[in-house]
Structure 1
Amino acid sequence: MSKTITLIMTGASGAQYGLRLLEQLLALQCKVYLLLSRPALLVINTETDYKVPARAAEIAAYFTHLYQASAGQLTVFEREQWMAPIASGSAVADATVVCPCTTATLSAIACGSSRNLIERAADVTLKERKKLILVVRETPFSEIHLENMLKLARMGAVIMPANPGFYFRPQSIDDLVDFMVARVLDHLDLKHQVQPRWGAPTQELADTFPANHLSGND
């Protein structure tokens, strides 16, 4: 397996970002440690057609089957599972992504509260100088949110608000989701084919997107 990635999904709107990222990480043969907050489960079951179970083992089986992952590739931890490897710097993942990230989680990480495994995993990632990516999903941002993001950016975290671009002429919600997922994968240094690169040869763009994405004749 290429890398070990901790993926944390919290209760912000935008569950599609986290689910698509999970799918791609597994497809790219990463080992994934997954944590879902209770509000995240509610949001997934509200915003999508998925009906994700509540227990960690059942969640792992559900997504392993859904995304056709290899046996043992996906591990799901409970919020209070303090013996999980990601609770310690001696077994920290190569990178941690919080996607989507609530402003409450942003605040908890910024002040290092570590009250549960979600917060602890992010805290360990920072202290071990590993990559931490926060896909914050909120608008507008208050001064508190901006100060927390600035504080974490100065610590080395990558602040990546869920702001998809439109220059590639998206034709669906899936296109917008893929824009953000591609950017996260780029920052994880994972090679992917989710979207073409800016300035890519015309044929590469044509092979990826229908002609009406590029022609300007929509």
Structure 2
Amino acid sequence: MKVLLGISGASGAAYGVRTLSLLLASGAELHVLVTKTAWGILASEVWDGKLPGGMVARRKGLARLSSSARPFRLYAEDDFGIPFASGSNAPDAMIVAPCSMGTLGRIAHGVSSSVLTRCADVALKERKPLVLVARETPLSVIHLENMLTLARAGAHVLPACPGFYHRPETVSGLVDFVVTRALSCIGVDAGILPRWGEGKEE
């Protein structure tokens, strides 16, 4: 499966990093887009303020975080020449994790002003699974209407709202809940958390 992962500029960089890790573990052919703002958030939330310089260093940094030796392709955020910017070469699925409200709003209204929003536009028009891990609270009426527009267009709008029935003991457990739900929307079973009703004694 050819998957495009977008990491946009919202707090919650851990969702993007964990999605990357689990997609690689699943054997997906992974392609990654990170926005300029998202790089800054990755630096502050994941890399202790130290952002690797240059695309090669940043790809290596993400690779180390993924704990996987499998390769993936990292694209520059301003490279409109990437394959997935055209409907003739759409990915099998696309996930944006985390997805800022600005990114979500532009996707909802077809404003393809960046490579990430153009690729999401392509996923929608080609009827490919598009999962948006929305990161904002509280939500305004504008946010909710944009989400409704996207849901009607066929996108999976998945707010980063972890459940607690798996009894998480760490932040990683909360992140895993959200990411595994996002992956299930594109047919990938990460196999790391029990499903509701599983594992109970009869």
TM-score, normalised to structure 1's length?
A: 0.86
Is the partner of 1:165 in helix, strand or coil? coil
Residue pairs, 1:139-154, within 5 angstroms:
139-154=137-152
Is the partner of 2:38 in helix, strand or coil? helix
Is the partner of 1:49 in helix, strand or coil? coil
Q: In the alignment, which residue of structure 2 is the partner of 1:105?
A: 103
Q: What CA RMSD, in Å, does the superposition of the two structures yield over aligned residues?
A: 1.5
Q: Report if the CA contact (8 A) 1:41-1:54 is conserved.
A: no
Q: In 2, Cα distance between the equivalents of 1:14 and 1:85?
A: 27
Is the partner of 1:63 in helix, strand or coil? helix
Deviation, 1:56, is 2.9
> What whole-Å deviation, never above 9, does each CA across 1:76-107 have from its counterpart, x for those lacking one?
11121111101111111111111000000011
> What whole-Å deviation, never above 9, does each CA across 1:100-126 have from its counterpart, x for those lacking one?
000000111011111111111100000
Q: Report if the CA contact (8 A) 1:122-1:132 is conserved.
A: yes
Residue pairs, 1:96-175, within 5 angstroms:
96-175=94-173
Q: In 1, Cα distance between the equivalents of 2:25 and 2:81?
A: 27
Q: Report if the CA contact (8 A) 1:27-1:69 is conserved.
A: no
Q: Report if the CA contact (8 A) 2:10-2:99 is conserved.
A: yes
Q: In 2, Cα distance between the equivalents of 1:54 and 1:152?
A: 35
AA aligned opposite 1:163: C
TM-score, normalised to structure 2's length?
A: 0.93
Q: In 1, Cα distance between the equivalents of 2:120 and 2:187?
A: 19
Q: Report if the CA contact (8 A) 1:108-1:119 is conserved.
A: yes
AA aligned opposite 2:33: L
Distance change >3 Å, CA 21–CA 52, structure 1 → 2? farther
Q: In the alignment, which residue of structure 2 is the partner of 1:9?
A: 7
Q: In the alignment, which residue of structure 1 is the partner of 2:16?
A: 18
1:36 to 30, 34, 37: 34
Deviation, 1:153, is 0.3
Q: In the alignment, which residue of structure 2 is the partner of 1:188?
A: 186
AA aligned opposite 2:61: Y
Q: In 2, Cα distance between the equivalents of 1:164 and 1:125?
A: 26
Is the partner of 1:5 in helix, strand or coil? strand
Is the partner of 1:202 in helix, strand or coil? coil
| Correspondence 1:59 to 2:63 | no
Alignment identity in percent?
A: 42
AA aligned opposite 1:6: L
Structure 2 residue ranges without an equivalent (≥5): none
Q: In the alignment, which residue of structure 2 is the partner of 1:69?
A: 69
AA aligned opposite 2:63: T
| Higher RCO (CA 8 Å, separation ≥ 6 residues) | 2
Q: In 1, Cα distance between the equivalents of 2:16 and 2:138?
A: 21
Deviation, 1:52, is 4.4
Structure 1 residue ranges without an equivalent (≥5): 204-218
Distance change >3 Å, CA 62–CA 11, structure 1 → 2? same
Q: In 1, Cα distance between the equivalents of 2:55 and 2:148?
A: 33
AA aligned opposite 1:169: R
